[in-house]
Each structure stands twice: as structure tokens, then as C-alpha cells.
Amino acid sequence: MTTQTPLTGAGLGLRREMLADVLDSSNQAIDFFEVAPENWLPYGGKLAAQFKTLTERYPFACHGLSLSIGSPDPLDIDFIKQLKTFFKTHNIRLYSEHLSYCSAGGHLYDLMPIPFTEEAVKYVAERVRTVQDILEQPLILENVSYYAAPGQQMSELEFICEVLKQADCQLLLDVNNIYVNSVNHGYDPLAFLQALPTERIAYYHVAGHYQQAADLLIDTHGADVPDPVWQLLQQTYRQHGVKPTLYERDFNIPSLGSLQHELTYIRTLQQQASSTRAKKKLAI
């Protein structure tokens, strides 16, 4: 599957509490928005009209919360069909989900790690292909942060790469999750980054986290992006190229101006990386 990225620049995760500020300003520093479709599907009336105003003004991507691609429960086909209608209504450019599961006989309200096994690879890949067939568009899977690896028979890296290959789907590369997992599970984040398949990467996520201990980081999306994650994002651009990059901030949300400052910094890193790559091509 050829990866297409119909977004550019630096984007922001849109929370409902930001809605009034976003509608009241031109927000030239925001290239695209990302939302969880589950947070908007149930609503009509004024809220739906406001959302439609924004999707007509800006490019949008969706990052889902409840597809539960690795769940032992059957896929919710009705929900997937609702997503398809929602995407068409709002011209959603990309749809991503977590390479995890959040239901087993009912919702678990957390992202649970899928066992890193060959059996799980085949199971997930088959479900991804089903989702893609219904949606008639690629499903983009995000590498997730995890704190335990039950039943592990292969590495996280091997598991991700095999799912992408067997499902013929795309990757949402979350730079913060690579860094968090590298600290929590003791691996080299650069080696992990370099081994990912460039051709399958659709876009990037960057976020902050909470340091509970020297060897335990918690992925919260509730803090500023720390320097090690910014540095890893720079390495990501060097290794895999400049792609659309989404800043996630779900808690302790600062002003819209502060959020736009972070997006400006992302754009600066993108420009620096593009300039460096262009100079290297000229030198060859």
C-alpha cells in the first residue's frame, strides 16, 4: 500500500474546550486539526454546526479511541460504518487508531497491550483488512506506550513491523511513545526508530509525559514536550523525512497562543530538516 499524506505542516489535537477560541480567531499557525471521532459522533445541533464550520475551514484527521483492533470481541461493524459516514461528511483526510485494545466483554477504558506474538499479528492483520475494506481507505495504526508485555514472544519492533506488513496498512509514528517505551523497557530509541519502515509512515505525533521515576515514564499528553522528545523528533525527520506532525495536549491545556508557539517550533524543525536534506542532495 502506498502511503499518502494529504496533510502538511504542524497540527493540533482539538479539544471541545478549545472550540470557542479556535472559532473566534484565524489561527494561521495551525495547519490541521485532529479529533477523536467518538467525541463528536454523538452530537448534533449547535456543537455539530460549529464542528462543521471548522472542518470546512481546516484539514482534519481522526485519531480513534474505541475501534479496539486487538480485542477478543468481534469488530463493531455498525460503528465502523458510522465512522465512514462521519469521514465523508467532514472530509476527514486520515484515520488512525491505536495498536492496542480497549474492550473485552465490555469497555476497559484504557489502552491495553496486545501480546507480541505471531498469533496476535495474524489476528490483528485480518481485522485491519476488514476495517479497511469497509472504510475503503487505509487504517493507520499508532505505536502505543505500554507498561507490561504479557505473553511476549517477539519484540515490540518486530510485532509492529509484522502487523504493518501482513495488514498492508500504515503507521502513525508517535515519537513520545518511542521515548517513553525506551526508558521503561530499556531499549535504544534511535535503533528502534531507524528500523521502522519509512514507506509506511503516514504522519507523526509528539507529546509530553510524566516522569514518575528515573526508569518509569507515564504517557499523559499533559505536559510540555521535553527536550529528549524534541531531539528524537529531529532524528525522526532525518531518518524518515518531514511529514505532518501533530502536537497532542489533552490535559493541563495552556492558552491557544502557547499551543501555537509549540506548532511554530515544530515547523522550524521541519524547515531545518528539509533544508539539510536539500543541501545533501545538492552535494551529491
pTM assigned to the model: 0.94
What pLDDT does residue 2 have? 45
Terminal CA-to-CA distance of the chain, rounded, Å? 30
Helix axes 118-135, 77-89, angle to 10 degrees: 50
Which region holds residue 127: left if phi is over 0, alpha if psi is between -120 and 50, else beta?
alpha
Mean pLDDT of the chain: 93
pLDDT tens, 187-205?
999 999 999 999 999 999 9
Is the CB of residue 199 less than 8 Å from the CB of residue 176? no
Nearest partner of 242 among 58, 60, 10, judged by Cα: 10
Task: Tell me how many degrees the CA angle 100-102-104 measures, rounded to the nearest 5.
Answer: 115
- Give yes or no for a contact between 83 and 37, defined as CB atoms under 8 angstroms apart: yes
The whole-number average pLDDT for the span 230-237 is 98
The per-residue pLDDT for range 86-109, each reduced to its tens digit, is 999 999 999 999 999 998 877 766
Query: What one-character-per-residue DSSP string does 60-127 give?
Result: EEEE-SS--TT-SSPP-HHHHHHHHHHHHHTTEEEEEEESSEEESSSEEEEEEPPP-SHHHHHHHHHH
2-11, 50-59, 174-183, 211-220: which has the minimum mean pLDDT?
A: 2-11
What pLDDT is stored for residue 150 in this prediction? 86
Q: Is the pLDDT of residue 277 over 80?
A: no
Confidence of residue 284 (pLDDT cuts 50, 70, 90): low
Amino acid 218 reads I
Residue among 245, 244, 246, 237 at smallest CA distance from 278: 237
Asked whether the beta carbons of 97 and 87 are under 8 A apart, the reply is no
Q: What is the 3-state secondary structure (H, E, C) of 152-172?
A: CCCCHHHHHHHHHHHHCCEEE
d(CA 37, CA 17): 16
CATH code, 10-283:
3.20.20.150
Q: In angstroms, what is the C-alpha Rg of the chain?
A: 18
Q: Output the pLDDT for position 78.
A: 97
**pLDDT value at 143 more than 70:** yes
Whether residue 42 is predicted with pLDDT greater than 80 in this model: the reply is yes
Q: Is the predicted pLDDT of residue 6 greater than 90, yes or no?
A: no
What's the pLDDT band for 4 if we cut at 50, 70, 90? low
